[in-house]
């Protein structure tokens, strides 16, 4: 009735061999006779033996777990579709490899550093994901100093010893700009993410580059913060300006949705008088009125590939950087040709564009 879980010693006893031999047999190491191996496997099976994870962890000095530290204001975390999706992708890979995912949510920068330090010192994880890279991101050196393997999502702007798993935003942004220019827009603005984030910065640069490539003057850029609140404020500033844009490219869907609502509030109809494009392709975006033109990235797949890369790195078989399929434009109905400049009277609130 002791219910004690069988240990490797029980298996050894039953198979009539020593602990060491059992260990060798179960780990598929050479040096065990086929017949013996068979007998050991049978014994383990019969006893329903499973290796004790903690013991294994101690003796091989591995955690069999990967870590993710999320630095985000908790009150805003809920609106960000990235992390849940990314984590889901990571998990599909980890689950089939017997690895676990350890999560930390850190508020400020201080807490973030502390988070990595704890994961490393406690040996909770064998490696970490570096997401949401910032410019001159201090985590690169920190994590390296902690002796923790890592992969970065996209390439940092500082020298990095870690493999990067890259998903290029820029083609998506460029496609949006090209799409809008193709529709006839010339006054296109951008609501950007924080400039100290690599993706905020990068999308802004991609936006400006794409305009330049089209031979258009630099559009107005409002630097914002990826939140609905920030998107609202930025959009107000743009639309209240003397010469408002006829199209706005947002750095994410959340701000774009907030932006559409600001426009509606001002009696400016989308897309008749203002074209709007987002970035992320959240589930909601397809169900707006009008449905949002946006850019899709395979965040789930990003998680999968990042997990595989990190595991490979830990096993010492790193494959170097990986490049994923770049971001792709999804045209819906929030973008349309600009209204003729003369036509100053508000158009009908919701002209019905063709079905997507």
Q: What does the binding site for its own copies look like in residue numbers (CB under 8 A)?
A: 50, 52-55, 57-58, 61, 63, 65, 72, 74-85, 87-89, 91-92, 95, 98, 100-106, 111, 115, 118-119, 121-124, 227-229, 231-232, 254, 257-258, 261-262, 264-265, 267, 282-284, 286-289, 299-300, 349-350, 352
Instruction: Report if residue 100 touches DNA, rule: CB under 7 A.
Output: no
Instruction: Report if residue 21 touches DNA, rule: CB under 7 A.
Output: yes
Instruction: Report if residue 86 touches DNA, rule: CB under 7 A.
Output: no
The neighbouring-strand residues paired with 294 are: 330
Distance CA 199, CA 156 (A): 10
> What Rg do the C-alpha atoms of the chain give, in angstroms?
26
> How many degrees, rounded to 5, is the angle at CA 69 between CA 65 and CA 75?
135
Instruction: Report if residue 118 touches DNA, rule: CB under 7 A.
Output: no
Q: Which of 14, 24, 308, 330 binds DNA (CB under 7 A)?
A: 24
Tell me 276's DSSP state: E
Q: Which two tokens stand for residue 268?
A: 């400016």
Contact 252, 325 (CB under 8 A): no
Contact 245, 217 (CB under 8 A): no
Contact 297, 172 (CB under 8 A): yes
Question: Quick one: what does residue 18 bind among its own copies, DNA, none, with the CB cut-off 5 to 8 Å set by partner type?
Answer: DNA
Closer residue to DNA, CB minimum distance, 5 or 136: 5
Closer residue to DNA, CB minimum distance, 27 or 110: 27
Instruction: Determine which helix (DSSP H) or strand (DSSP E) holds 297, and give its type and residue range.
Output: none
| Closest distance of CB 317 from DNA, Å | 17
| Closest distance of CB 58 from DNA, Å | 4
Closest CA to 75 of 115, 105, 102: 105
Instruction: Report if residue 261 touches DNA, rule: CB under 7 A.
Output: no
| Closest distance of CB 151 from DNA, Å | 24
Distance CA 173, CA 191 (A): 12
Instruction: Report if residue 52 touches DNA, rule: CB under 7 A.
Output: yes
Site residues, DNA (CB under 7 A): 4-5, 7-9, 16-24, 26-27, 30-33, 35-37, 49-52, 54-56, 58-61
């Amino acid at each position: 009735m002791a219910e004690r879980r069988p240990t490797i010693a029980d298996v050894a006893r039953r198979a009539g061999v020593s602990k060491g031999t059992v260990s060798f047999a179960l780990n598929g190491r050479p040096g065990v006779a086929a017949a013996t191996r068979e007998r050991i496997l049978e014994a383990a099976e019969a006893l329903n033996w499973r290796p004790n994870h903690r013991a294994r962890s101690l003796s091989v000095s591995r955690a069999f777990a990967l870590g993710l530290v999320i630095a985000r204001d908790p009150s805003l975390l809920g609106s960000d579709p990235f992390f849940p999706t990314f984590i889901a992708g990571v998990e599909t890979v980890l689950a089939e490899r017997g690895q676990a995912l350890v999560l930390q949510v850190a508020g400020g920068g201080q807490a973030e550093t502390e988070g990595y330090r704890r994961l490393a010192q406690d040996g909770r994880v064998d490696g970490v994901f570096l997401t949401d890279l910032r410019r001159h991101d201090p985590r690169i050196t920190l994590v390296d100093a902690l002796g923790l393997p890592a992969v970065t999502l996209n390439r940092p702007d500082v020298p990095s010893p870690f493999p990067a798993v890259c998903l290029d935003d820029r083609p998506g942004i460029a496609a949006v700009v090209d799409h809008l220019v193709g529709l006839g827009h010339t006054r296109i603005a951008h609501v950007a993410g924080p400039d100290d984030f690599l993706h905020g910065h990068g999308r802004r640069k991609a936006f400006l580059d794409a305009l330049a490539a089209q031979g258009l003057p630099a559009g107005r850029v409002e630097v914002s913060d990826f939140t609905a609140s920030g998107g609202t404020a930025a959009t107000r500033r743009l639309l209240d300006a003397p010469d408002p844009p006829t199209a706005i490219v947002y750095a994410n869907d959340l701000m774009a949705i907030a932006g559409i609502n600001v426009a509606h509030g001002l009696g400016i109809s989308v897309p008749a008088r203002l074209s709007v494009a987002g970035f992320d392709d959240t589930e909601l975006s397809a169900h707006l009125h009008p449905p949002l033109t946006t850019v899709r990235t395979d965040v789930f797949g990003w998680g999968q590939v990042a997990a595989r890369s990190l595991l490979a790195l830990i096993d010492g078989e790193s494959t170097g950087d990986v490049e994923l399929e770049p971001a792709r434009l999804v045209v819906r109905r929030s973008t349309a040709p600009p209204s003729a400049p003369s036509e100053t009277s508000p158009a009908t609130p919701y002209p019905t564009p063709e079905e997507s």
